[in-house]
Amino acid sequence: MSTTAILTAPRRAVLADVVPGVRVRDMTLILAGALLTALLAQVTVPMHPVPLTGQTLAVGFVGATLGLRRGVASMCLYVVLGCFLPFYADAQSGISHLWGATGGYIWGFVFATAAIGRLSERGADRKLLTAFLAFVFAQLLIFIPGVIVLHQVIGGSWATSIHSGFTVFILGGVVKAAIGGAVLPSAWALVRHIDRH
């Protein structure tokens, strides 16, 4: 698909489609998305019982730029690789993390990637407001299973689980959504600029 066709496509085109090739491109981008998520997972602010990390920002970018299918494949690859390699927050690894305090968030990455990928295929990543809202929605999809699993692991009241697993992350989530809301439309503007020249 040419860049002009991508730019004028009403739906299903995402930033990854600008890169030429198909199979090799897709495999490379899927791996790159998993590695980006692993890299940003190491950007952490220690909190208990769940640290603040750059993972959710990576999840948003992976989903938005790769679209639903490639984004989900990339996030599933990240989840699998994290079982064997130090890809999770604070260079952690192991299957046990999928069932621990942070496990629900890791599973939520897959749902969030699918959602923002689908929204981006419909053009949500091309305007500041819709890109911001897509990032917010994707992050909410991370927190829902995250808080549910956290509650099962730590016990206590739902209020404590919601506070420890969601409320304390709201400001960081808004900042990440603002970054995504600014970067994605800017990337599309750059693609349009390059296409014109």
Q: Which tens digit of pLDDT belongs to each residue from 86-124?
A: 999 999 999 999 999 999 999 999 999 999 999 999 999
The pLDDT mean for the chain works out to 91
Which H or E element spans position 183?
helix 170-196
Predicted confidence (pLDDT) per residue in 124-151, tens digit: 999 999 999 999 999 999 999 999 999 9
Pick the CATH number of 3-196 from 3.40.50.300, 2.60.120.10, 3.20.20.150, 1.10.1760.20: 1.10.1760.20
Tell me the whole-structure pTM to 2 decimals: 0.88
* Positive or negative: CA dihedral 117, 122, 124, 127: positive
Query: What one-letter code names the amino acid at 111?
Result: F
Structure token digits, residue 31: 């791996």
Residue 156 has pLDDT above 70, yes or no: yes
CA distances from 125 to 86, 149, 179, 188 (A): 31, 30, 12, 8
Domain ranges of the chain: 3-196
